[in-house]
Structures are given as structure tokens and as C-alpha cells.
Amino acid sequence: MTARIVGMTAADATRCEELETVLFPGDSPWSAEAFRSELTGPHNRYFVARDESDVMLGYAGIALLGRGADAESEVHTIGVDPAHQRRGLGAQLLAALLREADGHGGPVFLEVRTDNEPAIALYRGTGFEIVGTRRNYYQPSGADAYTMRRPAARVEGQLS
């Protein structure tokens, strides 16, 4: 499924909250206000996936941190409506985040539940590797998370 990936607006926050409660019911889903707050951060980039009828099917966000040799990025969230999962929307949203990260420079980090095999496979397919485990990372469920890292992308014209 191909969707339009566009910048998230404050008007999208309510739908994001709805999806969060379905996707992460046992782990403190983000509120609409949390999404609106994230949108105000100058270092944050958030996107939504929309179908041909303009319905929001998923969302994703990343923080672009540091500058120059200290640059790095951190994926904050990716979520896709369960009725539309396994159709490539997560990959499209991740690609949008990674374009932002590659333009910023440096490695990219994220956390993912250790039992979320589809997400882990998606991340591995784009160059992420598990670099650690965070015990009891997700609350209140106490689920563990892997920390994953993708090295800085080689940008055309950079010296090796």
C-alpha cells in the first residue's frame, strides 16, 4: 500500500492518541497533548501516513540532536493502524525519518520491545543492529526493550 507521507500537524494529535491507545494499551500511550508538545520542538520531525481519502493511517517521529561530529538522531515513535499493518506503511514512515536523520548526520538510535519481531525485522532491514537491552523499559508493563543503532549514512560527496 502506498500512502502520502506528510508532516504531522497539531490537528493530527487526537488521531495519534486514538491509535496509541490501541497500539500500546499496557505501556502509557501518548496523549494528544504529548504529540502537540513534540511538534513544538525545533529539533523534532513528525510525519503521518494518509490514504487517498486523507485518513491518517499511521505516524512517526524523530529527534535530530547535536551538530557536526556530535550529531545523532533518535526515533521517538512509529505507529500504524492495526487494520493497515503489514502493508509497508511502517517502512514508508521509517524511510521518511531516516531521510531526515541522514540529512542531519550521525548515527540513529531507537528502542523497541524485545517481543516486537515485525518491528525488529523492519529495523534490521534498514541497517539497525541491537546494541543493548533496557530492562523494564516500558511502563507500567515492565517489558524490556532493545536499544538499536544504525551507523551514520554515507552521504554522496562525503570523504570516507
Helix (H), strand (E) at residue 75: strand 72-80
Short-list 76, 5, 92, 12, CA closest to 43: 76
| CA 144 to chain CA mean position, Å | 18
What are the residue boundaries of the structural domains of the chain, listed by start? 4-108
For residue 47, the cross-strand partners are 7, 60
Give the cell for residue 6.
506528510
The model carries a pTM of 0.92
Tell me the pLDDT tens digit for each residue of 88-141. 999 999 999 999 999 999 999 999 999 999 999 999 999 999 999 999 999 889
* CATH of range 4-108; options 3.30.1490.20, 3.40.630.30, 3.40.50.300, 3.30.930.10: 3.40.630.30
At residue 26 the predicted structure's pLDDT band, cuts being 50, 70 and 90, is confident
37-93 residue pLDDT tens: 999 999 999 999 999 999 999 999 999 999 998 999 999 999 999 999 999 999 999
